[in-house]
Amino acid sequence: MSMNVAKTRYALKRRIDNFFASGEEQRAARALIDEIAAQHRAWIFGGMLRDIGLFGRDGFTSDIDIVFAGEREDLLQLLSHFHMEHFATNKLGGIRFRYRSLDFDIWCLSDTWAFKENIIPLENVESLLHTTLMSWDAVLYDVHHGEILTPENYLHDLNNGYLELVLDATPNETGSVVKILRTIYNKRVKTLGPGLSEFLHKTLLRYSYSALQHYELTHYDTSSFDDTEYDLLLNRLRETETGYSVDVTRLRTN
């Protein structure tokens, strides 16, 4: 898929709005989200915004992450209006379900893992931007106000292919490593920031290619990189001192 990176927050907002107006399923999803946000504030968070920001409306193929400002009981009551009888609760407290053709993962703001573990203080909704693993996930869409919230340099880094670590604390290190690798290989990353480079320097020493491939296939059903491409990344990291940015523009073998 060709890159088509949004240049401004307004352009990203337009893409999100256009996505939800693009078909019956998308309009139904927006109606669900608006209903959730009608009584308590809610925000679309992370991956959906990142992928549409990178590739355009058709670049989104995953689930929609929603953060809800109310209590869990309020959220369950709202979902009951849409006859959500079949949903799963993940180990971090999020509620996962499929509505029409789209998958959702919704959790209460105060249940965000980094807040519950007292790693990041919950001061306001923008505190969420400090809880992501990677910088490209640090983006919010305020459903009620129709506003995009990001760190100041977010779109500059997205346009330049610059990816940095935000929070190295994680409840699932293997999952975090695989998520980073999938981002590097699938999202056309050009440069790893010093923090992310150092994180990979340390963590990849603990993993073999086969272990990471097994985890990826088990959780995503697809493989993003082969053993040769993985070795190219390892060599690139070894060639660069820790604490420096790393060029990752030539990791693909085809």
Least confident of 28-37, 126-135, 145-154, 157-166: 28-37
Residue 88 has pLDDT above 80, yes or no: no
Residue 1's pLDDT band (cuts 50, 70, 90): low
- Give per-residue pLDDT as tens, 52-82: 999 998 888 888 999 999 888 888 888 777 7
Round to whole Å and give the CA distance between 134 and 136: 6
Mean pLDDT of 138-157: 95
More confident residue, 42 or 79: 42
Mean pLDDT of 133-149: 96
Mean pLDDT of the chain: 91
pLDDT score at 254: 66
Least confident of 5-9, 29-33, 100-104, 163-167: 100-104
Residue 108 has pLDDT above 70, yes or no: yes
Which range scores top for mean pLDDT: 81-85, 87-91, 215-219? 215-219
Round to whole Å and give the CA distance between 74 and 71: 5
pTM for the structure as a whole = 0.92
Mean pLDDT of 224-249: 92
**What is the percent of the chain where pLDDT is above 90?**
73
Residue 85 has pLDDT above 80, yes or no: no
Cα 90-103-93 angle, rounded to 5 deg: 20
